[in-house]
Structure 1
Amino acid sequence: MGFLFGALFLLLSFSKAAHGGTLPLATSNSTTTSPSSYTVFVANSANNRIQRLAGGRCNIFKGKWVYDPSYPLYSFGSCPFIDPEFNCQKFGRPDATYLKYRWQPFSCNLPRFNGRRFLEKWRGKKIMFVGDSLSLNMWQSLSCMIHSSVPNAKTSLIRGDGFASITFLDDGVKILLYRTPFLVDLVSEKAGRVLKLDSINNGNSWKGMDMLVFNSWHWWTHTGSSQPWDYIGDGGKYYKDMDRLVAFYKGLTTWARWVNHNVNASQTKVFFQGISPTHYEFQFRNEGGVLRICLGDCNDEFQLHVLWLRVAMFVVVMTSY
């Protein structure tokens, strides 16, 4: 999926002017309250914001997936940076058609990625992806796309716990990854693991970048054994749980404040990567298994009714800062 690097971002810019109209919150100890009653308000705010961003030019948010036989832009087997588990063909996937789709806006053509030109444009600069596994995908994919264009480039790779960096030495371009699925802090205390909605000390590691690409959503919905926290901390109080959409809103608000206070827009470009939809439908086989199908359904992929409120909420948060 990372071979579609240029098309997978929901590129939303930031406004320092307050536009008002923030989303009212449910009570912080609620486990059932949903802000769905504000859907119309948030959706209208998001749509207006996107229209302003387009400014009469090409709207890259409206388009469709098209088959392109010249894709993919890199080979999984020849990229030295990609994790082995992402090489689907190596582990038995029989088809490769899914690699040959690209995003096509209705009103313009996106330029084909050129790794050599990219390195020249970003010479001496640092790009950091911050977030969960989607950020990992983008970090590896961008690096692999560059490597495919400049296969003999000298590189260095550093990997640590939740951090990684690839440097293209001849041009001094650094592509960095910081793994933090919530953006806000997840800390260990005597009471247990606490997700702090109003704390973002992680941000100290994000400073000094020339581009920051953030993403967060999927881990906010995890429950049971896959939930990485025991308590939610907010305003000096601990909660066993709360409405996850409300928690997401609070966390995004903390992150937006950090961006507003710590990022110089004239020096650093900031993007928020869109929430990834589920690209399959369920059909049950006779033996009770699940068959996942995507081929032929591409025209419906952009109708993201389930995710619209999440995306709209992000827009509302950003238009408040």
Structure 2
Amino acid sequence: MKLQSIELPFGKNQSLHKSPKIVLLVIFTLVFLIVIPYYPLLKYPLYLVKNSSEPSSFYDSNDELISVQSINEKCDLFSGEWIPNPDAPYYTNTTCWAIHEHQNCMKYGRPDSEFMKWRWKPHGCNLPIFNPAQFLEVVRGKSLAFVGDSVGRNQMQSLICLLSRVEYPIDVSYTPDEHFKRWRYMSYNFTLATFWTPHLVKGEEADNNGPTHTGLFNLYLDEFDEEWTTQVEEFDYLIISAGHWFFRPMVYYENHQIVGCHYCLLDNVTDLTMYYGYRKAFRTAFKAINSLKNYKGITFLRTYAPSHFENGLWNQGGNCVRTKPFRSNEIKLDDQNLELYMAQVEEFRKAEKEGKKKGLRYRLLDTTQAMLLRPDGHPSRYGHWPHENVTLYNDCVHWCLPGPIDTWSDFLLEMLKREGVRSHEEKLQYLSDRKLPVR
């Protein structure tokens, strides 16, 4: 049977049975022209570059997974408003075992639930709701460590709960100390870890050997905290954070000598304020990362998340009883919150500049503005039973789970999705700066 002629792009009729090589050439040309614009996305599995058709139990039906638009998006993810999200939450306190008791707000009787039903909407672009299967594919074969205090642990537990819709991890911790946990997702060879370091630098309680505890800490601002600095070299991602422990009384040491303090009330010791210690602690923490010989990972600074005590300090009856978010025009970052935020970001920029000389990557996970607008997301008195004697009776520092802290995983995943393009651009710049040939 004779094949019919077809019109080829070359402008004349030719028969298929006479010109198979030409047909193959046309096909390869078309594929080349179609695929090349999407080349940056090819490092991801195919289902990550199109809308999901998976069951809604895993995905938000309105969620576009990844697109050229989201990869190349230039808008600021961290400037926006909270908008209603009736589909939330994506887990509950009964479906996730990873929730810390003090953040298990529904267990302890919180009467309202609207605080769980918001999502972050950046100005000028969209932030997709966290997709657990997509995240686990992106981090397959990798490892992520949270380095900081209990708010960092709060973030890790939120991530575990969000991922629980796909898989639960197994405990592979190297110590029984709950401050240093490791979890592995076996199907994805992905490891999560948390390293407890509330001040980021070497520190100790001043009266640690005495019969009483005054809460005064000695901080060695120029010394690495080896509990984490000797452990993180192997990780692909670090998320560094710290903040609320710096409000406590502290004595500052440098070169093994007292240089000042914060609210220590000691004779002949200058009060240098908490901002001095906070800045120096981040400087030393970033110096530690930049000094690691074999570290090739990406360092995220998760910026300071403000507390929301009203009508008193944390230990003077202050509380947080609001039940809905602020709008961005109703509150601004100022006073202590602004000082702490600026100190850590300025040190981050310095470390980023130094790190680039070694080809290291730093990223700003800027949660401060979004969380400033969420006075409704804290446990308050719903992190314990009413008769319990706890240190933080009204907790306006940590975040209920489920709750607004889940959005930090939305931010993290979107940043990881954009990372391929950004890392490629920075690598080219690094090679160019070093006058190395680029192909």
TM over 0.5: yes
Deviations 1:79-122 (A, max 9, x none): 12222332211111111111112211011101221111111111
Aligned twin of 2:219: 195
Task: Spell out the pairing of 1:160-179 with structure 2 (5 A cutoff).
Answer: 160-179=177-196
Aligned to 2:421: none
Separation in 2, partners of 1:72, 1:305: 31
Residue in 2 aligned with 1:207?
Answer: 233
- Partner residue, 1:103: 120
Give the 3 Å change call, closer, same or farther, for CA 71–56 of structure 1 in structure 2: closer
SS of alignment partner, residue 130 of structure 1: strand
Q: Please give the secondary structure, in 2, of the residue aligned with 1:299.
A: coil
1:190, distance to aligned residue in structure 2 (A):
9.5
Q: CA deviation at 1:240?
A: 6.0
In the other structure, the counterpart of 1:221 is 247
For this pair of structures, how many residues does the alignment match? 254
1:1-321 to structure 2, matched below 5 A, reads 57-148=74-165, 150-151=166-167, 153=168, 155-156=170-171, 158=173, 160-187=177-204, 194-200=218-224, 201-202=226-227, 203-223=229-249, 231-239=251-259, 241=261, 242-262=272-292, 267-279=296-308, 281-282=310-311, 292-295=321-324, 297-300=326-329, 303-306=332-335, 307-320=337-350, 321=354
Q: In the alignment, residue 271 of structure 1 is paired with which amino acid? A: F
Residue 199 of structure 1 deviates from its aligned partner by 0.6
The 1:109/1:280 distance shift into structure 2, 3 A limit, reads farther
Find the aligned partners of 1:236 and 1:289 in 2 and give their Cα distance: 37
TM-score, structure 2 normalization: 0.53
Q: Structure 2 CA distance, aligned partners of 1:154 and 1:294?
A: 33
Q: Tell me if the contact between 1:76 and 1:86 (Cα under 8 Å) persists in the aligned partners.
A: no
Give the SS at the match of 2:94.
Answer: helix
Greater relative contact order (Cα < 8 A, sep 6+): 1
Residue 160 of structure 1 aligns to a residue whose secondary structure is coil
* 1:185-218 residue CA offsets vs partner (Å, 9 max, x unmatched): 1147899763110011231122210100010111
- Please tell me whether the aligned partners of residues 119 and 173 of structure 1 are also in contact (alpha carbons under 8 angstroms): yes
Query: How far did residue 278 of structure 1 move?
Result: 2.7
Amino acid of the structure 2 residue aligned with 1:63:
G
- Which amino acid in the other structure matches residue 280 of structure 2? K
* Identity within the alignment, %: 27
Cα deviation code 1:10-50 (max 9, x no counterpart): xxxxxxxxxxxxxxxxxxxxxxxxxxxxxxxxxxxxxxxxx
The answer to whether the 8 A contact 1:64-1:302 is kept is no
Change (3 A) 1:292 1:263: farther
Alpha-carbon shift at residue 154 of structure 1 (Å): 5.8
Q: Secondary structure at the match of 2:321?
A: strand
Cα distance change of structure 1 residues 165 and 155 upon mapping to structure 2, 3 Å threshold: same
Cα-to-partner distance string for 1:206-248 (whole Å, 9 max, x where unaligned): 221010001011111113xxxxx6x321122025623211111
Cα separation, 2, equivalents of 1:310 and 1:272: 13
Q: For 2:278 and 2:130, how far apart are their aligned partners in 1? A: 33
Amino acid at match of 2:303: G
Contact 2:112 2:323 in 1 (8 A): no
Kept in 1: contact 2:75–2:124 (CA 8 A): yes
Per-residue Cα deviation, 1:260-288 (whole angstroms, up to 9, x for no partner):
222778x31111111111346449xxxx9
Give the drift of 1:290.
Answer: 5.7
* Aligned-CA RMSD value: 2.8
Q: Secondary structure of 1:85's partner?
A: helix
Cα 1:167–1:69 change in 2 (3 A) is same
Is the strand fraction higher in 1 or 2? 1
Q: Which sections of structure 2, spanning at least 5 residues, go unmatched?
A: 1-71, 210-216, 262-271, 355-439
Give 2:48's aligned residue: none
